A and B are shown apart, each in its own frame.
Chain A
Amino acid sequence: MLISKRVEFSASHICRSPLLSEEENQRVYGAACNPHSHGHNYLIEVAIEGEPAPVTGMIMDLKELKDILEEKVLNIYDHRLLNKEVEPFDRIVPTVENIAIDIWNRLQGPINLHERSTLYSVKVYETNDLFVEYRGGK
């Protein structure tokens, strides 16, 4: 069984690689390569997989999940310039793909520590019209 929780954060980013020329950055990222940055209201949907405990009827206490999301993601990402203030985006471009992978990496340990739950997927909506889903490479 899957259970999902949605949370939001707002952040700015610059989609620009120092390994690419100015023309290549323009071609790959378009307006998003503006060196002065721009921002989004991101929505994250995290799905965890497990079977409900016979007594509580819960896979995981959702308050606990909320606390993990706040501590491991929101407190780090919210109202930040990702390129300057959030690792690993000092080294890799904070595209929506890389954001989903980084959030997966931050959540997998703490969620899988829990006896009944494993992280199933991380969806990141950058806008209503663009989102990615990462299932740990599956």
Chain B
Amino acid sequence: MIRLSRKYRFSASHRLYSPALSEERNRAIYGKCANPYGHGHDYEVEVTVAGRVDAVTGRSVSLAALDALVNGEIVEPFRYKNLNEEVPAFQMAVPTTENLAVEAARRLRAKWQIVFGADGPQFENIRIWETERNICEVSGREFQTNES
């Protein structure tokens, strides 16, 4: 078993604000991230795949298939978007890095077996950099919801 990781990038805007909380609580929890018009980041996404190295090709996963999956499920739907307004999952959940990573993992998990099959390389984890100092990691293996 070997773990291969590949990085992707997208830029998007968001606002961290929960309608379930008071104005003061929002301000206390999210600080300037709760500013009403939102703000943006250059996000980085690292997807790690665990697989066996094919004896002939020397590859553990098809990079073309991985790129197509991640670009189709994460980069294209999120890039140059207002996450709160344009991504359905964030009409309910606050688009924190945590919830973004959970949603990104859910999207990959939903299509993984269709792309790679049951015996193919496994989705190990996903890491999302909101900034160089803010990184969130979610396992690809277990089922996680926005509540977990």
Which residues on A sit within 8 Å (CB–CB) of B62? 28
Is B69 in the interface zone, CB < 8 Å from A?
A: no
Nearest CB in chain B to that of A99: its residue: B58
Task: A95 to B61: give the CA distance in the assembly, Å.
Answer: 11
A15 CB to nearest B CB, Å: 7
Tally of A interface residues using CB under 8 Å = 27
Is A137 in the interface zone, CB < 8 Å from B?
A: yes
Is B53 in the interface zone, CB < 8 Å from A?
A: yes
Task: A133 to B57: give the CA distance in the assembly, Å.
Answer: 18
Is A78 in the interface zone, CB < 8 Å from B?
A: no
Task: A101 to B6: give the CA distance in the assembly, Å.
Answer: 18
Q: Are B58 and A95 in contact (CB under 8 A)?
A: yes
Is B12 in the interface zone, CB < 8 Å from A?
A: no
Which residues on B sit within 8 Å (CB–CB) of A49? none
B10-35 interface code vs A (CB 8 A; 1 in, 0 out):
00000000000000000000000000
Is A20 in the interface zone, CB < 8 Å from B?
A: yes
Q: Are A129 and B6 in contact (CB under 8 A)?
A: yes
A95 CB to nearest B CB, Å: 4
A14 CB to nearest B CB, Å: 11
Q: Are A101 and B53 in contact (CB under 8 A)?
A: yes
Chain B residues proximal to chain A, CB less than 8 Å: 1-8, 53, 55-60, 62-64
